[in-house]
Amino acid sequence: MRIYDISREIFSSTPYEGDPAPETHLLRSVKDGHPYSLSSVSMCLHTATHIDAPSHYLEDGKAIDEISLKKCIGPCMVLEAGGVIDEGYIAPLLGRGAKRLLFKGKGVLTPQAARLIAESEVIMVGTENPTVGYGEHVHEIHRILLEKEILPLEGLNLKDVPEGNYYLVALPLKLEGVEGSPCRAVLMDYLPAAVL
């Protein structure tokens, strides 16, 4: 079994425009004579690899601690997508049992493609981009997906992952009442049948 770490390192990741850069603060250090080292972190919850909860865009949407972890663990499909991801690209993928779609490359969803996904069995959409939407459509695409509780998994690192079927584990931190969370996302190319 091979495990692919598809997360981005937090401190070296470029923040989304307008978001604060992550910072670490050393509170105690063994080097300075303390019996232990201790640090704190300050960051936007949408830095590097992260999951958006419905409350990111919807006033009454679920917070990150309320989403079902079943959506964050399970079979997925990694697909090359270097340009516009429109309904013609999406339609053949649906109805084949793929509930988690991860797009490798700089491909961007159109609102029409997002609507098609929202009407399907898909429960998570992943992207290497910092956001699942783009340009003037960024808010619309988020709302289309999040209204159906389809979770955006954003800021992935899929450069070393071939297209294909995998098992995804991408768990958000248990942060009560907030609209998103960083996560450590991994793909496995094989799991024993007993685990599936």
User: Which residues are catalytic, by number?
Assistant: 56
CB 20 within 8 A of CB 44: yes
Provide DSSP, 153-170: EES---TT--SEEEEEEE
Q: Quote the crossing angle between the two packed helices 138-147 and 111-118, to the nearest 10°.
A: 0
The set of residues, in sequence order, having a beta carbon less than 8 Å from that of 12 and lying 6+ positions away, is none
Q: Which helix (H) or strand (E) segment is 187 a member of?
A: strand 180-188
The set of residues, in sequence order, having a beta carbon less than 8 Å from that of 174 and lying 6+ positions away, is 65
Instruction: Return d(Cα 81, Cα 155) in angstroms, integer.
Output: 15
